[in-house]
Amino acid sequence: MEEHNQMQEELQKGYEDEQIRVLEGLEAVRIRPGMYIGTTSSGGLHHLVYEIVDNAIDETQAGECDTILVTVNSDNSITVKDNGRGIPGGINPQVGLPTLEVVYTKLHAGGKFGDGGYKVAGGLHGVGASVTNALSEFLEVTSCHGGKKYTERFERGEVAIPFKCEGDTDDHGVTVHFKPDPTIFEVTEFDYDVLLNRMREQSFLNAGVKIILKDEREGCEQENTLHFEGGIASYVDYLNGLKSCERIHPEVIYMKIGTPSELPMAEVAIQYNDSYNETVISFANSMATIEGGMHETGFRTALTKVMNDYAKKVGILKGDDKLSGEDVREGICAVISVKLENAQFESQTKAKLGNSEMRTLVDNLITKKLSEYLEENPNTGKMILEKSLAASRAREAARKARELTRRKSVLEGSTLPGKLADCQERRTELTELYLVEGDSAGGSAKDGRDSRFQAILPLRGKVLNVEKSRLDKVYSNQSLIPIIQALGCGIGEEFDIEKLRYGKIIIMADADVDGSHIRVLLLTFFFRHMRQLIEEGHIYLAQPPLYKIHRGKIVKYAFNDAEKEKIIEELGTSAEAERYKGLGEMDPEQLWETTMDPSYRTLLRVNIQDAIRCDQLFSVLMGDQVEPRREFIEQNAKFAENLDI
Ligand code: 1YM
């Protein structure tokens, strides 16, 4: 009770002044929500949940909590409940406010202001629960700590029912109930699958924690329990299970240094499969580092070194022969997770880890533990080496083929493909390359374009499915060579984005099933062999109209059925609508007006929001197993339709 009296006194003193300062802080969040949560669309909405869950996960990492319950309530509000220590009921001496109130009303970057604890789970910018509070219609906290139950209610970040002690309890832990503010968010409906993916990822990254996710909305009632004792080793097993390929050794290799309470900590899990591509995903403080960074660099360098040393040791590599980085990563599925204080994130999206000490830490971990593992498990070692050697031989065969036919110079861009109608402009940032399906559409595009900055490359024949082919086939494929030549930036090990000849690469294919197939084949090629083009936003999809509607001399275009109906209403019932069967039906002027004129057209920029999802999408859509593909398409019709991956 003493704690409580002291609190009342402190409150009298500094409350009003403080309250004003605090509100100014959260007001900034309400004025510019994008700066704190990225967007006010679906991504930002879900982010509100992650901030609260992150605090509960921190508590599990402190060893004080094992279960987190996340409920989407029937009114689209969210309840997050943990069974940890609860937030202490005292007054924070620095600000003279209840600690609980400080947690929910103070913007703070990074470090927690409790008893010397630190924050590792980390939200987008480490700003924490106060951002969720600022952007919620209401947020209620119940904290059971040290035998007492405390509550407080906020509305749009302001105190609505002050902090109070409700009395005694045997319970412990924190419960937060909030509802996103509909005046801030464009979307207020939670997507269960988005929450499920994030909760699954978090439970893989924090071994042992049990997260129960529940949907109580009418007609959507469901529940998932996410609990993986194996942590990231279970993650790798899960990822390999999603892919349409076979594992080449039975166990996941797991290596670790440090613990959550002894930072820094690094852990890596690896298992090879029989595909030709690599899936390496990395995290720092449980946040995905999509652009990699120091921990990934350390991993790659050490893996190449360890595999070469091992191959020499067992006598498989002789003399100066070497396995390249790409060779030893063919078919790898790996998850890297590091936890550290003072994480530095670089690049525009803050998705690249800059702390160089993480390169050394991961390098040391792999060098020591992976060498030991291979020594102790020679059968697994042999399987992996055989895979790397096969990759190396294929690469060598590709190199020879290239030299023989002087394809090297062909691929490196000194020659341009015969079919290319190039543009006059040379500054990459101003130019566009249209990859056009079919010769007749290619002809219209050539005649309709603005040749000052638009280049056209008609695609010939069927585009190779790179998911089923090794590099040597990719390099010698007649449908891909002209694309590689026109882009000028090389491929694979020789890829150099500085040499890219066009700022926008626009895929223009029909709006039908065949067109959709070509789009997916080209995207698979870019994703697997020139991923940086997608990451840096160079790849676009043209959006040709579906209908031409005319009445007398008035001609309008519609891009979907709703637009068609609207235009017919405007023009009157005598208006006629024709459905385009393909791009080839449009004359050059129509193609320019509807699809190529920068002042009228709409382009979809392809971005990688979720590299894991993408990897899975291509491996299942394009792999050679039919059953998983059918299942996947049935479950994910929205992905097959929506190519904005
Ligand atoms: C449903 C959300 O926030 N749980 C939670 C938060 C805290 C603690 C325990 C906690 C942390 C510490 C000490 C510490 C927080 N405490 C603070 C502050 N669940 C949820 N569970 N005692 C309890 O880190 O030292 C901030 S969050 F400020 F008190 F340290």
Instruction: Measure 39 CA to ligand 1 centroid, in angstroms.
Output: 27
If you take atom 13 of ligand 1, which residue's CA is the nearest one? 114
Q: Report the pLDDT value the prediction gives residue 584, as an integer from 0 to 100.
A: 84
Judged against a pLDDT cut of 60, whether residue 396 lies above it is answered with yes
Which CA distances in Å does 252 have to 161, 263, 278, 439, 594? 51, 24, 15, 49, 52
Does domain 409-544+586-642 match CATH 3.40.50.670? yes
Residue 58 Cα to ligand 1 midpoint, Å, equals 8
CA-to-CA separations, 120 to 124, 285, 290, 521, 562, in angstroms, rounded: 12, 5, 18, 40, 47
Looking at residue 141, what is its pLDDT? 98
Compute, in angstroms, the gap from residue 59 CA to the centroid of ligand 1: 7
Q: Is the pLDDT of residue 412 over 70?
A: no
pLDDT for the residue 307: 98
- Among 52, 55, 136, 141, the mutation site with the greatest number of ligand 1 atoms within 8 A of its Cβ is 55
Cα separations in angstroms, 201 against 226, 388, 529 = 9, 29, 26
**Beta carbons of 210 and 227 less than 8 angstroms apart:** yes
pLDDT of residue 105: 92
- Burial classification of residue 17, based on how many CB atoms lie within 10 Å of its CB (0-12 exposed, 13-18 middle, 19 or more buried): exposed
Domain spanning 27-227: CATH 3.90.1150.10 = no
CA-closest residue to ligand 1 atom 28: 114
pLDDT on residue 210: 97
Average pLDDT over residues 584-592: 90
Which residue do the tokens 């109906």 mark? 565
Residue closest by Cα to atom 26 of ligand 1: 103
For residue 253, what are the CA distances in angstroms to 213, 268, 333, 378?
Answer: 29, 8, 11, 13
Q: Is the confidence at residue 221, as pLDDT, over 80? A: yes
- Confidence category of residue 375, pLDDT binned at 50, 70, 90: very high
Do the beta carbons of residue 268 and residue 255 sit within 8 Å?
Answer: yes
Among 375, 396, 514, 570, the one annotated catalytic: 514
> Which range (67-76, 114-123, 495-504, 628-637) has the least confidence?
114-123
Query: 100 alpha carbon to ligand 1 midpoint, in Å?
Result: 9
Distance 346 CA to ligand 1 centre (A): 28
Alpha helices in 530-582 (DSSP H): 531-535, 561-571
Geometric angle at alpha carbon 104, from 98 and 110, rounded to 5°: 105
The radius of gyration computed from the CA coordinates of the chain, to the nearest angstrom, equals: 28
* Cβ pair 270, 369 in contact under 8 A: no
Q: What is the pLDDT of residues 431-440, one digit of tens each?
A: 999 999 888 8
Question: Is the CB–ligand 1 distance for residue 515 below 6 Å?
Answer: no
Q: Are 581 and 617 in contact (CB under 8 A)?
A: no
Instruction: Give the pLDDT of residue 62.
Output: 86
Stated pTM of the model: 0.74
The residue whose CA is least distant from atom 30 of ligand 1 is 114
Give the type of residue at 121: A
Ligand 1 pocket member 78 (CB < 6 A): no
Q: What is the mean pLDDT of residues 50-61?
A: 93
Q: Is the CB of 118 under 6 A from ligand 1?
A: no
**pLDDT, average across residues 20-31:** 74
Task: Tell me the one-letter amino acid at 553.
Answer: K
- pLDDT given at position 115: 36
Q: Rounded distance, CA 387 to CA 245, Å?
A: 14
User: Which of 188-192, 261-265, 418-422, 614-618 is predicted least confidently?
Assistant: 614-618
| Choice from 112, 113, 120, 131 to test ligand 1 binding pocket (greatest atom count within 8 A of CB) | 112
Ligand 1 centroid distance, CA of 50 (Å): 15
Residue 122 pLDDT level (bands cut at 50, 70, 90): very low
Q: What is the mean pLDDT of residues 462-474?
A: 82
Regarding predicted confidence, which is higher, 89 or 640? 89
pLDDT of residue 440: 85
Considering the chain, what percentage of its residues have pLDDT values greater than 90?
A: 59
Is residue 379 very low, low, confident or very high in pLDDT (cuts 50, 70, 90)? Answer: very high
Average pLDDT (24-31) is 86
Whether 450 sits among the annotated catalytic residues: the reply is: no
Return the ligand 1 atom nearest residue 118 CA. 24
Model confidence pLDDT, tens digit, residues 624-642: 666 666 665 555 444 333 3
Long-range contacts (CB closer than 8 Å, 24 or more residues apart) made by 478-484: 480/525, 481/407, 481/410, 481/411, 481/417, 482/417, 482/419, 482/420, 482/457, 483/435, 483/457, 483/459, 483/522, 483/525, 484/411, 484/413
Ligand 1, atom 22: closest residue by C-alpha:
87
Measuring from atom 23 of ligand 1, which residue has the nearest CA? 87
Alpha helices in 79-118 (DSSP H): 99-105
Contact between 110 and 117 (Cβ < 8 Å) = no
476 or 539, which is more confident: 539
User: Given this model, what pLDDT does residue 520 score?
Assistant: 83
Residues 363, 425, 437, 593: which is the catalytic one?
437
Select which of 166, 512, 536, 624 is catalytic. 512
Question: Which residues partner with 279 through β-bridges?
Answer: 333
The 10 Å Cβ neighbour count of residue 425 is 18
> Which strands, in side-by-side order, build the sheet including 554-558?
554-558, 547-551, 576-579
Rounded CA-CA distance 210/206 in Å is: 9
Task: Identify the band that residue 535 occupies on the pLDDT scale cut at 50, 70 and 90.
Answer: confident
pLDDT tens-digit series, residues 551-581: 988 888 988 888 899 999 999 888 999 888 8
Confidence of residue 124 (pLDDT cuts 50, 70, 90): very low
The answer, yes or no, to whether residue 331 has pLDDT greater than 90, is yes
Q: Ligand 1 centroid to 353 CA: how many Å?
A: 26
Tell me which of 245-254, 346-355, 410-419, 534-543 is least confident. Answer: 410-419
Sign of the dihedral through C-alpha 508, 514, 516, 522: negative
Tell whether the model's pLDDT for residue 495 goes beyond 80. yes
Vertex 99 angle, CA 95 and 103, to 5°: 95
Nearest-CA residue for ligand 1 atom 24 is: 117
Q: How far, in Å, from the CA of 336 to the mean position of ligand 1?
A: 27
- 263: tokens are 């930072």
Can you name the CATH fold of 232-400? Ribosomal Protein S5; domain 2 (3.30.230)
Residue closest by Cα to atom 10 of ligand 1: 87
514 catalytically annotated: yes
- Interaxial angle between packed helices 378-404 and 357-376, expressed in degrees from 0 to 180 and rounded to the nearest 10: 110
Q: What is the pLDDT of residues 163-186, one digit of tens each?
A: 999 999 999 999 999 999 999 999
User: Is 510 marked active-site?
Assistant: yes
- d(CA 518, CA 437) in angstroms, rounded, equals 8
Ligand 1 atom with least separation from CA of 116: 25
Ligand 1 contact, 269 CB (< 6 A): no
Judge whether residue 132 has pLDDT over 50.
yes
Q: Which atom of ligand 1 lies closest to the CA of 52? A: 2
Task: Name the residue with the closest Cα to ligand 1, atom 20.
Answer: 56
DSSP secondary structure of 259-308: ETTEEEEEEEEEEEBSSSS-EEEEEETTEE-TT-BHHHHHHHHHHHHHHH
- Token representation of residue 262: 């002894």
Establish whether residue 117 lines the binding site of ligand 1, counting it when its CB lies within 6 angstroms of any ligand atom.
Answer: yes
Phi, then psi, of 404 in degrees rounded to 5: -55, -45
Q: Tell me whether residue 215 is one of the annotated catalytic residues.
A: no
| pLDDT greater than 50 at residue 110 | no
Q: How many CB atoms lie within 10 A of CB 88?
A: 18
Give the separation between CA 174 and CA 76, rounded to whole angstroms. 20
Strand ranges (E), 340-485: 345-346, 352-353, 432-437, 454-459
pLDDT (tens digit, 9 = 90+) per residue, 180-211?
999 999 999 999 999 999 999 999 999 999 99
DSSP string, 11-57: HHHHHHHHHHHHHHHHHHHHH-HHHHHS-SSHHHHHHHHHHHHHHHH
Distance 62 CA to ligand 1 centre (A): 10
Whether residue 588 has a cis bond before it, omega within 30° of 0? no
Query: Do the bridges between strand 67-72 and strand 210-215 make them parallel or antiparallel, or are there none, so unpaired?
Result: parallel
54 close to ligand 1 (CB < 6 Angstrom): no
